[in-house]
Amino acid sequence: MATINVSILSTGVATPLFQVSQQEAFAQSGYRDEAIRRVFMRAGIEQRHFYFQNGIRVDEDSNELNRRYVRGAIEIGCRAIRKCVDSAGLTERDIDLFVLCTSTGYTCPDIGSRLIAHMGFRSGIQRAPMVGLGCGGALPSLQRACDFAESRVGQIALVLTVEICSACYYRDDTLETVIGNAICADGAAAALLIAGAPPDPPFPQIVDFESFLDPEHLGSVGFEHRDGKLRIVLGSEVRHLAPRLMEGALYPLLARNNLSQSDIRFWVVHPGGRRVIDSVQKHLGLSDSELQFSNTVLRNYGNMSSATVMFVLDEVVRNGKPNPGDWGVMTALGPGMAAEAALIRW
């Protein structure tokens, strides 16, 4: 068994205050076609949150989009961190490493540095920006934090995943753009990690990680620049590739730790979209109950890129009633094309 001796101390999630139903999202999207309305309505989403202060705008130029990304990432990132730190009974000055994961905008200095200045972290804090990993970015970010915590026992690492997907809004009539606009939303999630301490219920220990990359499909998922804006790339083949990619990370992870799929109680699966979840569920033989937390997050928040799987973990911690000894698997797909997985235990 490949055991990482790092525990999650606390989690915290945040969304923008502006919330719309899926019906309202379509009405304000700029689309009018009935077929596109059906895509929105069949996405398995009831509501989403967007960082808009005066209602949805679909005519922003690239400068306005990026400015909104920066403002939104700082605002909801700050709230997620504060929830996480307060829950652990700590302050920002107790943090030794700040891992910042984001893909939906660019700024220099990065969002992490801006939050350090805004929130009063120590001047000696270490930084680790994780940029461009898309929906799968939370797990490599957690791995980076684990590496730090294990090498510096007693020091605390903070991971923040923050995405303003609405700042990547691009409208055309291609199916991949329509699907992206029908499912993506804004959110932030944070976690504190420390080595050398047993997990404190209801938070788990992180045991191991595994990645599986398939560069043959490098262009299937991600963002591209078009007309000066970020435009989502979401190939139709993703839902068919998802199970095989997930297996590529999952099975070696389980085998290395002498576990089988039946040993896993909690499936913390990134809900990339309704069809992706359905494909993974069918291929792996997972029950509705095993995917209830992923479906809850999809229904209530949509796809918030890298933050989404952290929302699922937070949902499990708050409402899953984990018991000591329970096993869980976190998994997400991202650009590369890559599957990322983490083994956790309560």
Model confidence over 196-241: pLDDT tens digits? 877 788 999 999 999 999 988 777 787 888 888 877 777 667 777 8
Q: Which residue has the tokens 């939303």?
A: 185
List pLDDT tens digits, range 56-72: 888 899 999 999 999 99
Mean pLDDT calculated for residue range 314-334: 96
List CB contacts of 248: < 8 A, sequence separation 6 or more. 212, 214, 339
List pLDDT tens digits, range 234-259: 766 777 788 889 999 999 999 999 99
Domains of the chain listed by start with CATH number: 6-195 (3.40.47.10), 205-345 (3.40.47.10)
Cis status, amide bond into 202, omega within 30 of 0: yes
Label residue 292 by pLDDT band (50, 70, 90): very high
Label residue 124 by pLDDT band (50, 70, 90): very high
- What is the model's pLDDT at position 237? 75
The pairing of strands 126-131 and 97-102 is parallel
- What is the model's pLDDT at position 248? 96
DSSP-derived secondary structure letter, 131: E
b (16+ CB within 10 A) / e for 28-67: ebebeeeebbebbeebbbebbbbbbeeebeeebeeeebbe
Please choose, from the candidates 111, 106, 50, the residue with its C-alpha nearest in 3D space to the C-alpha of residue 225: 106
DSSP-derived secondary structure letter, 171: -
By mean pLDDT, which of 17-26, 50-59, 81-90 is the weakest? 50-59
Tokens of 257: 């730790």
pLDDT at 18 over 80: yes
- What is the model's pLDDT at position 221? 81
Nearest-angstrom CA–CA distance, 50 and 39: 19
Computed over every residue of the chain, the mean pLDDT equals 94
By mean pLDDT, which of 42-51, 197-206, 255-264, 320-329 is the weakest? 197-206
- What is the model's pLDDT at position 1? 60
Give me the long-range contacts of 314-317 (CB less than 8 A, separation at least 24): 314/11, 314/12, 314/13, 314/189, 316/266, 316/268, 317/11, 317/202, 317/203, 317/204
pLDDT at 297 over 90: yes
Label residue 128 by pLDDT band (50, 70, 90): very high
pTM to 2 decimal places: 0.95
- What is the model's pLDDT at position 252? 97
- CB–CB of 238/288 below 8 Å? no
- What is the model's pLDDT at position 197? 75
DSSP-derived secondary structure letter, 273: -
| Residue type (1 letter), 21 | S
Report the 10 Å Cβ neighbour count for 91: 14
